[in-house]
């Protein structure tokens, strides 16, 4: 253990040598503000418009990207979020499970998908009423604005709001609203990576339409990890009056992928590119269709701003695994309405929301990737959530803002057993919670000091409730929600003419911690494990000494500890206590050179703290050009090398996996090259 820690700090020293002096976070560092200027009066959508970046008493980061920026390869959400303080993103290197995203330890338990945080795409929630999020429809290459609220936020979003990630593909700069855009990108690289993307934006007077379509295939670094993802989406914004507009959005994703599974330590050290034999034998994988559509209406009136949103989701999943063939058919939808009023010294808002989720779940035996004749589970699951909230804020003195709010929400789970193998297992569970919040901020010259208290209410998801350890049907009667209560103090803003900081200290208690465990067949089950304490410091610094140079550094130091029962004193698995990210970027004669490094300390892979994932340091570099004009087309090439030193490491782990199968190896050294075309107006 001591040797491993020494090795980690020795590797971290290499990062510091690479990034001398002040080393800082990327463009995603925080709110879009130029050093030396005041914080912007920018509405923060992650908190439903209740605050702007200049006074919001929360730890948050806002990234904006221009569609005309220099080209880069963005193949996963890990590349979008990796430099955000407090966030921990695991890209497993294949499509079957998606990225695991954890913020301050919330969501770390997720064996697949995202849990413990709300995710919203173009104003439409991706998080289902049961608290689970699937990111299949997110095309990370077209994201133009990203907000991460790191504070507990059930006041605004209800169930599963340990953090909030708000994504937008439609933040078009004001100076380009009358100019059409069309972009095409193609790239290829190591391990059979191939991607083609086309996106565009077309104005029609005061209206506009935006669209994208992409195709991404890979052979995979590991055996049995090939896959294909196809995505498409469109949004239209119509001005319906001088003070109102409607936005309509659609998105769809098709996926077909193999699943290599996780490895033991011995397998990982012998050959990290191998697949788990049982998964390859069972032809484990995933074939899915995920589609969503929504509409949002907003109107400015004398009383305030009214926003009404409605959305629908359709998901079909065929998921052969080593223990079963899972067939899931999901329909979901919801609505929310909110009225807010912002004045110079007083702001207030009220709102209500509701959502429904209908799952038809059938499990059968898996015959090498084909459903067998043995039906093991056949049931219909319904989830209904509803909540209402209110908040108020005022400015007692010139530079001080106070914000307080309260929400009441309920989530009801119902299940109809259609199989009756063990009798009728039909039943229901009802969960409810009050979610208060109180925050205060003090605004200085270009900076903001803030403090807040917030809560997060998180129910088990349907997948967690139906996976009963006794293998009978119905909901697990002993599984309860977890409740997080947290406080934080932070500072963000410009310090001097060239320096921008984002720092926060947080403390959070999590009661009824939901944790996973696995049986010998690879099936995950869940239980409550008492109380956790989450403590940490997170910070990001951005330094721009010259318009052609930028340096960035992000650091997160945290400690998440079990406080009760059989795990008392153990650390939460799956999350490192120290994580650092650094970047140096320069633009010279139309070329952009970027060098990045990430250092991660070792961390435990199980609740009993008897196995660890080794720490590592990984270096990446890229070179891109702003483009060469060829008639009405601008051609911009780019190249990238990832994991330059060919470090062998496990980029993700399967927490509490049976038989020590914890390790999900990351790819070795990889090269990518591509070209981007811009159709000039």
pLDDT tens figures, 13-26: 444 444 333 333 33
Range in 59-68, 136-145, 572-581 the model is least confident about: 59-68
Q: Percentage of the chain with pLDDT > 70?
A: 91
Mean pLDDT, residues 359-384: 94
Mean pLDDT, residues 177-192: 87
What is the average pLDDT score of the chain?
88
Is 57 in contact with 401 (CB distance < 8 Å)?
Answer: yes
Residue 306: is its pLDDT beyond 50? yes
Is 37 in contact with 648 (CB distance < 8 Å)?
Answer: no
| Phi and psi, residue 59, nearest 5° | -80, 115
CATH number of 2-679: 2.40.170.20
Is 48 in contact with 338 (CB distance < 8 Å)?
Answer: yes
Residue 421: is its pLDDT beyond 70? yes
Q: What is the pLDDT of residue 5?
A: 41
Each residue of 385-419: pLDDT tens digit?
A: 999 999 999 999 989 999 999 999 999 999 999 98
Structural domain spans, the chain: 2-679
Q: Percentage of the chain with pLDDT > 90?
A: 67
Ordered DSSP codes for 254-309: EEEEE----B-HHHHHH-TTPPPHHHHHTT-EEEEEEEEEEEEEEEE-SS-EEEEE
Mean pLDDT, residues 323-335: 95
Specify the 3-state DSSP secondary structure of 467. Answer: coil
Residue 469: is its pLDDT beyond 90? no
Confidence of residue 617 (pLDDT cuts 50, 70, 90): very high
Burial class (CB in 10 A: 0-12, 13-18, 19+), 477: exposed
Confidence of residue 80 (pLDDT cuts 50, 70, 90): confident
Residue 474: is its pLDDT beyond 60? yes
Specify the 3-state DSSP secondary structure of 478. Answer: coil
Residue 31: is its pLDDT beyond 50? no
Each residue of 81-97: pLDDT tens digit?
A: 888 899 999 988 899 98
Range in 42-51, 164-173, 594-603 the model is least confident about: 42-51
Confidence of residue 217 (pLDDT cuts 50, 70, 90): very high
Q: What is the pLDDT of residue 466?
A: 86
Burial class (CB in 10 A: 0-12, 13-18, 19+), 547: exposed
Residue 115: is its pLDDT beyond 80? yes
Q: What is the pLDDT of residue 170?
A: 73
Q: Evaluate if pTM is beyond 0.85.
A: yes
CA–CA distance, 63 with 59 (Å, rounded to integer): 14
Q: What is the pLDDT of residue 254?
A: 97
Residue 459: is its pLDDT beyond 70? yes
């Amino acid at each position: 253990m001591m040797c491993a820690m020494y090795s980690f700090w020795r590797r971290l020293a290499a990062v510091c040598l690479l990034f001398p002096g002040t080393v800082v976070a990327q463009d995603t560092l925080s709110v879009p503000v130029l050093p030396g200027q005041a914080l912007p009066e920018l509405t923060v959508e992650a908190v439903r418009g209740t605050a702007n970046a200049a006074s919001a008493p929360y730890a948050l980061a806002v990234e904006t990207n221009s569609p005309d920026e220099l080209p880069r390869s963005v193949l996963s959400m890990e590349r979008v979020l990796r430099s955000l303080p407090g966030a921990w993103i695991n890209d497993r290197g294949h499509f079957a499970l998606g990225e695991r995203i954890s913020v301050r330890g919330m969501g770390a338990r997720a064996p697949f998908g995202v849990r413990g945080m709300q995710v919203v795409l173009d104003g439409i929630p991706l998080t289902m009423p049961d608290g689970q999020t699937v990111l299949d429809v997110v095309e990370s290459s077209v994201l133009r604005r990203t907000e991460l609220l790191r504070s507990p936020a059930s006041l605004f979003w209800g169930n599963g709001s340990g953090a909030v990630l708000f994504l937008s593909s439609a933040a078009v700069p004001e100076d380009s609203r009358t100019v059409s855009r069309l972009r095409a990108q193609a790239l290829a690289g190591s391990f059979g990576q191939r991607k083609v993307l086309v996106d565009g934006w077309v104005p029609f007077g005061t209206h506009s339409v935006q669209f994208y379509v992409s195709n991404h295939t890979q052979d995979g670094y590991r055996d049995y990890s090939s896959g294909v993802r196809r995505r498409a989406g469109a949004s239209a914004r119509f001005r319906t009056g001088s003070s109102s507009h409607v936005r309509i959005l659609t998105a769809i994703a098709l996926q077909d992928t193999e699943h290599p599974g996780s490895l033991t330590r011995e397998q990982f050290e012998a050959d990290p590119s191998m697949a788990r034999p049982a998964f390859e034998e069972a032809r484990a994988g995933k074939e899915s269709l995920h589609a969503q559509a929504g509409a949002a209406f907003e109107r400015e009136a004398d009383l305030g701003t009214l926003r009404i949103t409605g959305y629908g989701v359709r998901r079909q999943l065929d998921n052969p695994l080593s223990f079963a063939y899972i067939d899931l058919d999901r329909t979901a939808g919801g609505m929310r309405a909110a009225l807010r009023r912002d004045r110079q010294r007083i702001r207030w808002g009220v709102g209500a929301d509701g959502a429904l989720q209908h799952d038809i779940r059938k499990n059968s035996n898996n015959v090498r990737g084909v459903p067998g004749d043995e039906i093991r589970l056949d049931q219909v699951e319904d989830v209904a959530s509803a909540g209402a909230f209110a908040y108020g804020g005022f400015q007692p003195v010139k530079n001080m803002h106070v914000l307080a709010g309260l929400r009441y929400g309920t989530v009801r789970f119902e299940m109809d057993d259609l199989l009756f193998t063990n009798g009728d297992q039909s039943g229901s569970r009802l969960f409810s919670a009050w979610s208060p919040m109180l925050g205060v901020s003090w605004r200085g010259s270009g900076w903001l000091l803030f403090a807040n208290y917030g809560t997060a209410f998180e129910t088990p998801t349907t997948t967690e409730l139906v996976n009963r350890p006794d293998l009978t049907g119905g909901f697990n009667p002993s599984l309860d929600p977890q409740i997080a209560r947290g406080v934080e103090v932070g500072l963000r803003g410009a310090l001097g003419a060239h320096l921008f900081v984002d720092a926060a200290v947080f403390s959070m208690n999590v009661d009824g911690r939901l944790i996973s465990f696995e049986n010998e067949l690879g099936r995950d089950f869940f239980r409550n494990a008492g109380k956790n304490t989450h403590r940490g410091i997170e910070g990001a610094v951005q330094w721009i000494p010259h318009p052609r140079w930028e340096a960035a550094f992000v650091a997160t130091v945290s400690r998440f500890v079990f406080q009760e029962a059989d795990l008392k004193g153990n650390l939460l698995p799956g999350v490192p206590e120290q994580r650092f990210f650094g970047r140096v970027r320069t633009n010279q004669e139309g070329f952009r050179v970027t060098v990045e490094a990430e250092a991660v300390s070792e961390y435990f892979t199980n609740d009993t703290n008897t196995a660890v994932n080794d720490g590592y340091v990984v270096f990446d570099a890229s070179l891109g050009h702003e483009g060469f004009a060829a008639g009405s087309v601008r051609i911009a090439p780019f190249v990238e090398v990832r994991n330059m030193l060919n470090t062998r490491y496990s980029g993700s782990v399967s927490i509490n996996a049976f038989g020590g199968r914890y390790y999900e190896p990351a790819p070795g050294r990889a090269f990518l090259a591509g070209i981007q075309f811009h159709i000039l107006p």
